Amino acid sequence: LAAAKLAQDKGFHFTSILTLSKAKAWNQVELRFPMAYEPIVRLEASQQKISPALVYGVIRRESAFDPNIVSSAKAQGLMQLIPPTAKQVSRSLGLKRLGRRQVFEPETNIKLGTAYLRTLLGRFEGNHALATASYNAGPHRMPRWAPDYPLEAARWVESIPFNETRNYVKAVLAYMTIYEYKLNGNNESKV
């Protein structure tokens, strides 16, 4: 616990979260769910008119706040954007050409990631479960996975055919709930 606290105090949120996980310190909510990059998250979420808690949920699941992480699929940074997606979103925002390291900068990565989330939420009529599944597995899979009839989100999530995506959606939505509380206390979400 002391090592996790020290890591977080030094800004090493990934190390702190990993240490708490190994220690099975599940009740250390303040350490497990840091509010890193809060001004950037709030600004970009506000500009995209999405919940900052959703942005935090995605960051927490994707990178555990390590801005330099690269996945086996070559996804990069806090919000784990693959280079073609980062480039596409960058163009849609009218940003100049992205340099190799630029996508790792928290400001740029969060700007691109929140804009991409906004696109997915628009495509799926504000449905957080479909948008987060799409963020993880790609939007091309959603037409095959979307229910043909009204179905509550929890039941639909259980029908996702890939364990990785099913667990991803569950985690992001759970983390989103925790961040809603941390951002707003007992007040309603402000989108």
Task: Name the maximum alpha-carbon separation found in the chain.
Answer: 50
Phi, psi of 150 (to 5 degrees): -55, 130
Name the CA dihedral angle for 131, 188, 108, 123, rounded to a multiple of 10 degrees: 20
CA distance 60 to 41: 12
DSSP β-bridge partners for residue 76 = 70, 81
Amino acid symbol at 102: Q
Distances from the Cα of 17 to the Cα of 43, 48, 87, 95, 134, angstroms: 25, 28, 30, 33, 25
For 89, other C-beta atoms within 10 Å of its C-beta total 21
Amino acid symbol at 19: T
- Among residues 117, 105, 136, the alpha carbon closest in space to that of 47 is found at 117
Note if 30 is an active site residue: no
Q: Which of 30, 62, 125, 188 is catalytic?
A: 62
List active site positions: 62
